[in-house]
Structure 1
Amino acid sequence: MIELNRAMALAMAFGPAAGLELADQLMQEPALRNYHLLPSVRADLLMKLGRLGEALGEFERAAALTQNAPERAMLVERAQLCRVELADKQK
C-alpha cells in the first residue's frame, strides 16, 4: 500500500508516466494483485496519458474488484467517460 501511495506521489511530482512505471511494477505483487485501488490508480494514470483503451479496462477491473457500491459506481462512471472519449476520437 505504501508503494501505491508512492506511485501517486511520483505522478504528482514527475508526471503520470513516472507513477505508472511504479504502478506497473506493483502488478507483480501478490498482495496487491486483487486490490481494487491498484487498477484504479493505473487507470487514472493511463487516462492522464491519453491511453484511454487501457484506462477503460483498468477502471472496469477495479470496479469488479471493489465491494464498495459508491466506489464501484464512480469507477463505472470513469470507465464510461473513457468510452465516450474513445468514441469521440474515432469520429
Structure 2
Amino acid sequence: MTGLTKDALRYYEKIEILTDVPRDQNNYRQYSIDNLHQLQLIQGFRKLGLDLSLLTDSINLTNDEQKLETLRACQKAVHDEMDRLTRIDTILAQQISRIPK
C-alpha cells in the first residue's frame, strides 16, 4: 500500500515518527488512516532530503502551540526546498533553451 518495507516501517516506529499503530488480537499491526498520512509525510520528507527529526519533534509534542510552531518550521523547510528546486529548474530551462533544435 505504501511501498515501504517492513524494516522501514519498524524503523519509523522506533524513532517515533510513526506513532500509535494499533494492533489486532494476534499483535499484527493495523495501520490507520492517520498512520498512512504520517507515512505520506515521512516519504515526502525523505524524497526532499529533509531532516526527519523535524517530524519527531512535531509528533511528540503535546502542547498545541509548540506543535504548531514545529509544524510551521517543517512547512518552511519544505518551502525552502521548493524554492531551491525552482532555481535549479530555471537554470536547466535556460540551458535547454540554448541548445539548437
TM-score by length of 2: 0.36
Greater relative CO, 1 or 2 (CA 8 Å, sep 6+): 1
Counting helix residues as a fraction of each chain, which structure ranks higher?
Answer: 1
TM-score by length of 1: 0.39
